[in-house]
Structure 1
Amino acid sequence: MDASSVSPSIVSVPTSRLLPIRTPRSAPAEWTTTDDSSAATVEEEEPVTPTARLMEGIYIVVTIGLGSPVNLQVFSAGAAAELARFPRFRSIQVTDGNGNNPRWARTAVNVEDHMIVPTIDTAAVAADPDRAVEDYVASVYTLPMDRSRPLWEFHFLDFPTSEAASTVVLRVHHSLGDGMSLITLLLASSRSAADPTRLPAMPEQPARTGAIYAPRRRAPFTSSTSRPPRRPPPWCSACTTPSATACRSSHSSWRPRAAPPIRHACRPCQSSQRAQAPSTRRGAERRHRALAAFITWIWPYLVLAWNTMVDVSFFAATIAFLRDPCTPFRRADGDVTLNPRRRFVHRSLSLDDVKFVKNAMSCTVNDVLVGATSAALSRYYFRKSGGTDTYRTWLRSVLLVNTRPTASLQTYANMIESGRSNDVAWGNQLGYILLPFHLAMHDNPLAYVRKAKMTVDRKKSSLEAIFTCKTSEVFVKMFGLKAGAFIFRRMFANTTISFSNLVGPTEKIELCGHPVVFIAPSVYGVPQALIMHYQSYNNTIKIVLSVDEEIFPDYSQLLDDFVVSFGLIKDAASRLSESIKKE
């Protein structure tokens, strides 16, 4: 079924002449604005980053379920007061006369131009409102976008579904920012439902673990970990023989601590020789301890360097020739379709259940989600292929990693308020990790989580994400946009899926005066048949799939496989916890 065949008629889509995303500098830069005091001229310009230039045809789509019917006037006022102040949300890309040197140019925004209310077949809504929302979101990528204005818009579906009283679909061009920054800015523009005067509560950021992240502080002295205090030299303080005098002169740099002098009878020659033997042994012990401490300190860095070298080599091989095997999750070799017919579907998991498995397995939430993904993909693969031989059955995911330093919501809110990036980097700050998924049928469902923990822990001891982020920027600057786009396209074409995990607030929020029920982000424009996102919110985790409808005509079964696989993992974790309690 073609997406265009289910697209409802749109009454508010702009019909003016569409301009390229990089508008020539001579093009008009003035539009009407709801704020008469705002100047409708370009305020300032800054260059478009190389990573943002690679996002030419990629859009972020966020489906937001609301707990009340849409009040368009209230929502528009909230968007104008919060979101429209974000610099990227009031900027367009302009170029010089030759179409080069793209830059962000600030401009005034008429928020009403970015609010779209479609007209949808009432019979389709009455028959199946959930399907009507799914059909509309699937048709969003076919709708034109007026690129002479900032590339973001809200679509309002004001009818109830099984999960929400109404639905809002946010479409944003990926050049404005990556998913992490846009979701965070969306949350920074929202307020707590319990207390509208404050920002939503976010989970605490887990501390990074490992020897390379350990603080370099001098520990208090213990006999096993620290160097013992220096002892007085082995001569008598009352001795005036030449040998003792020479010994004292050789230790002239030593300064004794405030302690009573050593009182013992001294025989210059014999006692000096006897004292040198234990001193030599103590020196050897100190050298051995120092060597062991040095090896303990440097070993994590050696492992980090080795893992980074291996991962970067595999990344380069993927760009050059290394391709995932043919599975039901990807198109035939060489078939790269940038904008296939896509479906955006989602399902909910209990965050408490995920944390229960995490505690039972002594791992992280990410480990549990990666393990559940591996179990679901394996379940779908063996049902579709009917195979039983798991040797050499594997696929790889492009794991998107946020490379920014950890920042609070208040930092983002301050950035929106001031309009300046002091502590937060705007735009796309993404690194890429090639995360392998081994397809297998395990008798114990917890084996998927154990395997996932080993894989994720191995990837944590690598700088692959930072290296790929910086290398892509340098490559575009040195060899141009076409060379960077070639690498970008090959990375996605030679892998199977994309994977991302986003953290949301731990409580219910209000967005532009409307209570939020769920948040389901996704993306289109990437040449992969399957794109997965996990989004936490309140006490749930949303599994969001963006699927190629031609490759996954049974995408609802794939979504069910995620729920069933996680249920099996949770049941196995419950049995494990009960057995531990009995012991």
Structure 2
Amino acid sequence: MEVGYNEPLSPGGRMYLRQELDASIDSFVQFQNPVDMFAVKAALASLVKTCPRLRSVVIENRGRPHWKELPSLNIIDHIIIVPEEEDEEDGNTQAYINKYLVSLPSMAAFCRNSPLWEVHILPKRHRAIVLRLHHCLGDCVSLLALFLSCCDAPVVDDPVSDVRSKKKGNAEGSIVYASLRDSCFKAPTSNLPQENGVLTLRLDDLKAVKNKLEATINDVFVGLVSCGISKYVGQQLVDGGTENPTICATMVVNIRGHGSKEVLRSIREKGKIPWGNKFGFFLLPIRLENTDDPLKFVRTAKCMIDKRKMSFVAIYTQRVGNVLAKIIGRENVASLVYKFRQNSGMVLSNIVGPSGPIKLATNLITNIGVTLSCLPGAIDVHLISYNGKAFLQFLVAEDVIPEPELLCRYVEEALTEMIADILNVDDVAD
């Protein structure tokens, strides 16, 4: 990909420069061995050389933001060494990383006179780094591909959950918007306290449920989270006598028709696959209920997601956004998106990562996680697969989910029950 001087930002990139949506994509990467700062610097130098956007700043050209490539870039200015602390969550690495990710929005905002990215090297004992990139640079799929381009022997599964369908679209999109208008509950604004939680699952377990129900990983993912949240609020539903409330969830999907593997190839070969922000979304009414059949949540999710695939609503959301930006201006579109985000009870996304182990500067990567910061929301859940594992990153508002670790345990329990139900069915069949 070649950016060069005065490359205009995409409509999505311009939207994320607005104050309302000034968001960053925050990822953590854990390693087998302690992080070598000089090796990381060398890898970043290769990465910056690959993508001119990482050595460019945003300027206004005739009222429109453009990328302008800098004549030189000191990579050290974008590396932040986090000092050792005595009370580092009693040596619990994941707890420390969670706490650090939540603290990122309170740190200094990106300086617009410098490229919009940072790498935070955490204290040596944690063997981890945090990548912080402004959302105007690209979405999670393109930024994952960019990161893989500087790793050793990246291997990426590419079974993209294609939102396109051979069947003719219908009016499902308008029905969804109308029917869910009153079912959303107000999410907290971005300045309220948030907490982080991480759950690691076996990818083979997700695939076992997927294969048994002839579903997709997205179907299983949505069903798992729905079941976990139902378990979390289950006792409150019993005590309060509430009848199965509904959460309005937003499912964010890649609409390229290609995953990280193809985007990675485009970065290396300067192909024509869209980079940057290329995603759409659709709404899912998630019904919380107490049931002895956890697989019911997956079947319900599959039914809803299949309908939305046939409606092309995910593709239309981006196209309509681009048209509205030309009619009412990107400022007003950013405000609309912000309000939509405020009134969405939950945001879900699934990113397909490398299927095998990869290394950064000869250091084996053990865990990967990704989340968004500086955006309003009650519950954000982002799944990324890597080396046979599925990492679920939860970002929740304290007043909605005060115990994210408990929610993670309920989601894990839901998967265990699903696997048990599948095995029981197989035993009966035999």
TM-score, length basis structure 1 = 0.68
C-alpha contact (below 8 Å) 1:521/1:533 kept by paired residues: yes
1-structure distance, mates of 2:319, 2:334 = 15
* Rg larger for: 1
SS in 1 for 2:305: helix
SS in 1 for 2:43: helix
Residue in structure 1 matched with residue 27 of structure 2 by the alignment: 62
SS in 2 for 1:545: strand
| Bigger mean CA deviation after superposition, 551-560 or 518-527 | 551-560
1:358 aligns with 2:210: yes
2-structure distance, mates of 1:181, 1:403 = 12
2-structure distance, mates of 1:176, 1:206 = 22
1-structure distance, mates of 2:245, 2:161 = 34
Residue in structure 2 matched with residue 264 of structure 1 by the alignment: none
2-structure distance, mates of 1:455, 1:531 = 19
Q: CA deviation at 1:76?
A: 0.5
1:111 aligns with 2:40: no
1-structure distance, mates of 2:422, 2:238 = 28
1:189 aligns with 2:48: no
2-structure distance, mates of 1:440, 1:482 = 39
Q: CA deviation at 1:112?
A: 1.1
C-alpha contact (below 8 Å) 1:442/1:448 kept by paired residues: no
SS in 1 for 2:57: strand
Residue in structure 2 matched with residue 443 of structure 1 by the alignment: 292
* CA distance 1:577–1:83, shift in 2 (3 Å): farther
Residue in structure 2 matched with residue 14 of structure 1 by the alignment: none
Query: Aligned partner of 1:202: which letter?
Result: V
Pick aligned residue for 2:183 from 324, 341, 345: 324
* CA distance 1:58–1:353, shift in 2 (3 Å): same
Q: Unaligned regions of 5+ residues in structure 2, if any? A: none
Residue in structure 2 matched with residue 256 of structure 1 by the alignment: none
2-structure distance, mates of 1:441, 1:317 = 23
Q: CA deviation at 1:408?
A: 6.2
Fraction of identical pairs, as percent: 27
SS in 1 for 2:277: coil
2-structure distance, mates of 1:209, 1:316 = 21
Q: CA deviation at 1:576?
A: 1.3
Residue in structure 2 matched with residue 416 of structure 1 by the alignment: 267
1-structure distance, mates of 2:387, 2:174 = 37
C-alpha contact (below 8 Å) 2:24/2:134 kept by paired residues: yes
2-structure distance, mates of 1:358, 1:311 = 25
Give the number of aligned pairs: 422
2-structure distance, mates of 1:381, 1:314 = 25
Matches within 5 A, 1:113-152: 113-124=77-88, 126-144=90-108, 145-152=110-117
Query: Aligned partner of 2:251: which letter?
Result: L
1:545 aligns with 2:394: yes
Residue in structure 2 matched with residue 286 of structure 1 by the alignment: none
Deviations 1:368-401 (A, max 9, x none): 1111111011111223343586756211211111
1:87 aligns with 2:87: no
1-structure distance, mates of 2:113, 2:419 = 50
Pick aligned residue for 2:385 from 524, 533, 536: 536
C-alpha contact (below 8 Å) 1:188/1:412 kept by paired residues: no
Pick aligned residue for 1:201 from 149, 155, 159: 155
Matches within 5 A, 1:203-352: 203-205=157-159, 213=166, 300-301=167-168, 304=169, 306=170, 309-315=171-177, 322-326=181-185, 331=187, 336-352=188-204
Residue in structure 1 matched with residue 13 of structure 2 by the alignment: 52
* CA distance 1:352–1:310, shift in 2 (3 Å): closer
* CA distance 1:316–1:437, shift in 2 (3 Å): closer
1-structure distance, mates of 2:128, 2:228 = 28
Deviations 1:226-276 (A, max 9, x none): xxxxxxxxxxxxxxxxxxxxxxxxxxxxxxxxxxxxxxxxxxxxxxxxxxx
* CA distance 1:157–1:528, shift in 2 (3 Å): same
Higher strand proportion (structure 1 or 2): 2
Residue in structure 1 matched with residue 232 of structure 2 by the alignment: 380
Deviations 1:48-104 (A, max 9, x none): 22221222311111011111101100110011112452132122110147xx21111
Residue in structure 2 matched with residue 78 of structure 1 by the alignment: 43
Q: CA deviation at 1:533?
A: 0.6
1-structure distance, mates of 2:265, 2:232 = 45
C-alpha contact (below 8 Å) 1:390/1:440 kept by paired residues: no
Residue in structure 2 matched with residue 154 of structure 1 by the alignment: 119
SS in 2 for 1:93: strand
Residue in structure 2 matched with residue 492 of structure 1 by the alignment: 341
2-structure distance, mates of 1:44, 1:425 = 19
2-structure distance, mates of 1:209, 1:84 = 33
1-structure distance, mates of 2:101, 2:244 = 37
* CA distance 1:495–1:126, shift in 2 (3 Å): closer
Pick aligned residue for 2:305 from 447, 451, 456: 456
* CA distance 1:406–1:444, shift in 2 (3 Å): same
